[in-house]
Structure 1
């Protein structure tokens, strides 16, 4: 079997996407922690354009961007499938729902980045709209997005189950409440109860400490950040 390596960083939900997929499929791999403040020659060699994690190296060949990596893993290692059997569902899961967090996730980042006031209220409204779409059109009456067991869409939304909880506590804004999003609230509990997921989550206290420090180093409001590059994703910096 070709050697499998994963370049990641511990606070990043995108790294954990790949970890969960590898663990669920029982694929042996070597994990290599990356310091994004001092990027390694290995990272620059394998991902010279974006210079970001995660990077999966299989048989010496690199694959990057977590959504692409998930699809690659599913195609190369078909055991314990992460995609549904139905052709339509197989098409929708990777092409729409896996992309959904990347397209809609920045609103949560803005909630994290902005102080109380109009900007935070706007970010909260957009975040609630995103979560409502998941509640009504993604989950439905299913235990997981893919049905009775974890699939590729659940892995894609894993950040909602853990990282969002840390952000909620940090900024003092609760988004996933049981009486507003009962299905999504139940899903976060079910997802984190799965042993492989539970055993492979970053420590809550360490995440809270890390994000607190990150928040202190960044300008909070967009209005005060003119002329500076603003990250477009909730975890561009981790």
Structure 2
């Protein structure tokens, strides 16, 4: 049975992807830094589907941890056919002249370097199991920048560029590469960014945002298409949002 590897699966889009794909018959390898959440996800999948989930608790921004995980779990990865690079975060909304360098490092290390580490290591298995697929969860912030989000946007511009580069480098190897760029999705994402639940709630006040399940459905659809069909990029907004800065609120 084919295996899907999902990073950042402890909550939000990653968790929704794990559930959606498990219901489609995929075995799941789920990563994240919150072990309790991974174990809860494993329990849900075992109770509600006939597939198995392998929880791997580690930090994708740590190169040594990534290398150890792939070296120590080769048997788990032997049927890998789908990689979903979902793990990512935004920290702070300060302008660049007032931002914290630790926030910049956290975003770059996870959103860019972590994605690269996992992708490079997973490709050894994906190539063996082709036809296969990589789906990167980007953002509309990878197309348009906004004040106070320059570095976060830069990391998502990088994800988009890396997706295009991968597509070129893997041409002829029967590995599809897709970038899914959501607009406003109501998850824990804003809580992490603001470190404040009340501020996070205000982001979605007066409008109807996307849900994690909406993006998981896009992932499921892209992965279900015939092997000769490659969705290069999918930009997904809630109906109440027209750009990174244009949002209709009641």
TM-score grouping bracket, smaller chain normalisation: 0.3 to 0.5
The structure with more helix, counted as a fraction of residues: 1
TM-score by length of 2: 0.35
- Larger RCO (alpha carbons 8 Å, 6+ apart): 1
